[in-house]
A and B are shown apart, each in its own frame.
Chain A
Amino acid sequence: MTNSILEARNVIFEYRHGFPTLKDINIAFPEGQNIGIVGESGSGKSTLLRLLLGIHRPSSGEILFMNKKLDLSDRERSREFRRSVQVVFQDPYSSLDPRQRIDRLIAEPLRSLGLSKGKLEAWVNAQIADALTSVGLSTDSLLRYPSEFSGGQRQRIAIARAIVCNPKILLADEPVSALDVTTRVHIIELLSQLSKTRGLTIAMVSHDLSVVASLCNQTIVLKKGEIVEYGNTAGVLGSPSQPYTQKLIESLPRLPH
């Protein structure tokens, strides 16, 4: 069996006084497998991501990190978890603090995880510069503020911040949905390249199947909190077994030929 970075085992989750949002979720996120989580709004995809991030705790069942139960009360383990599991959100306009310069924004995980402690400033700067060039931005950007960048560039900055601590897995919640089509393609290419060059595993929530098909080798289809289909992207999208998946595919607007 391959090593899973994250795993959800028999996870059930309900918001307070609510119906169960997730029902009996079992998924593993093995190293090197990019996984797409698709479904309509309300299907529970973002909730699942929050559970994997440790923001919410499952009502029953467990989240495993490196094959051990996720326990954020253990400081050492919690730090290792935060360092290994990073996130990028949908809206690059609200996810970057407008008052902070880019160098400070990108260095934030290094500081908050204590990775820069006892290290020379030159080391920190090298990490930041490396992250920034990995996402295709020049180091001229370091002294500027988020407002000086376009949506696509901001999303690159958010990705740089996520990868600066060399995580194992990147959880991305609709990372390209707020972007124009051309920018969307560039960011997908960037993520695909990072997963190859940095050995980064990507788990991406999206309602856009074309994005998932471009980037992910595995696809999970969620419907009303349940996994209705799970497997190779080519199989799930190429010959879906569920009418729900079929509907998601047929709804996509296509170019005329």
Chain B
Amino acid sequence: MGSTVATSVIDVSKTFGQDKDQVTALDRVSVDIRENEFFTLLGPSGCGKTTLLRLIAGFEHPSGGKILLHGEEISHLPPFKRPVNTVFQSYALFPHITVSENIGFGLSMQDKPANEIKETVAAMLKLVQMESLADRRTDQISGGQQQRVALARALAPHPKVLLLDEPLSALDYKLRKEMQIELKTLQHETGITFIFVTHDQEEALTMSDRVAVMNQGRILQVGTPKEIYDHPAERFVADFIGDTNFLAADLNQSDNGRMMVTLPGGRTVETTQSDFPGAGKVNITIRPEQASLINGPSAADLSGTINNVVYSGNDTHVHVMLESDEPFVVRVQNRGAQSAQWESGQAVGIKLEPGSVQVLQD
């Protein structure tokens, strides 16, 4: 896998409306997307992820900053002059032509010779396993099939970058799972850079090489799914991706130069993190599965009283009210009788796994 940059977004801003009604959709966003990478823009609705995608596609033009494709500026080009194709959220298949004509549309607009179009369309139909439905109208096929056609249509002109705008959101759960794997495989096979937009954190974690978490028009953190999950930089990132606990703590440098976090209740744990907001009052986050419950406070890092036990199949979420009056959730795997021993009103201790304390930037 090469590490050359496919798309550079440099200091890009986008505002809509004027004067009083002005809305900032993107606020000086910069990110480099590498070649052959499955890159995901993740965030809640309205965070600017779709706007960023539309700017790269060319449907909108940035209010500030620029966008490079393989080093060449494309910010001023109309969409039909950018070697970039989009898979739309609603698929946007042309209803007046057949499946094959849809797939060949981009190539015929590029004035490719007829036999080349025919060959590529056949190859694309094979790639997405739609050969038998080639001559159907697009309103005569199912949602999952439409999704495949949309993908084939966007891949047929062999774009340098493929943009995917929440393409799986209209599919039901099982089909979505299947398509996630298929998309990932397809990205590998074609070697095309995928920029994928989603609000589904699970989807982002399973499919991506790297994820950019966005909120309120800014990119908060870029990293591999593991980096984002294990080392969230900000409270929003930690909260948006997976379940987590937040606590107020103190950060101090010990005599031998190690960074120590003092938990509510007085226990101190070491942190191996290198990026600190500075000593003093900090917020920390601890994932529910990286803590365990023990009887009695003796060996515990935190202690409190159970106020709720929620069974959820795979595991049980035990809600504990700490002595510092902060809520804390521990996830206990449902193996044997492990979870059955905990019940409401019980006083418990919480033991943290080494390295589970993550100090946040904000």
Binding between chains A and B: no
Give A residues with C-beta under 8 Å from B.
Answer: none
Give B residues with C-beta under 8 Å from A.
Answer: none
